[in-house]
């Protein structure tokens, strides 16, 4: 496993914990969690999560299919 892939997975784990904490915090404060998923801020989060997944997929393909050169 390349160092770039390790860092990508670590960042992904931190983003997952942060996202779960965000949703849990909204739920505990009484905010409509399901309603949040259709807000402008949720779509911004979706955009950056998509960019992260594209980056992680690129790293995995480069390291394993191409050989990391």
What is the chain's pLDDT, residue by residue, as a tens digit (69 residues)? 778 888 888 888 988 898 888 888 878 877 777 787 888 888 888 898 899 889 888 888 887 777 755
Cα dihedral angle (44, 54, 24, 34), rounded to 10 degrees? 60
Q: What is the pLDDT of residue 69?
A: 55
pTM, entire model: 0.63
Nearest to 42 by CA among 33, 29, 55, 54: 33
Place of tokens 């259709």: 38
């Amino acid at each position: 496993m390349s160092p770039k892939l390790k860092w990508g997975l670590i960042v992904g784990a931190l983003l997952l914990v942060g996202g779960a904490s965000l949703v849990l915090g909204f739920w505990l404060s009484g905010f409509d969690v399901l309603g949040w998923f259709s807000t402008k801020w949720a779509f911004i989060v979706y955009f950056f999560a998509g960019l992260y997944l594209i980056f992680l997929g690129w790293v995995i393909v480069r390291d394993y299919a191409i050989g990391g050169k």
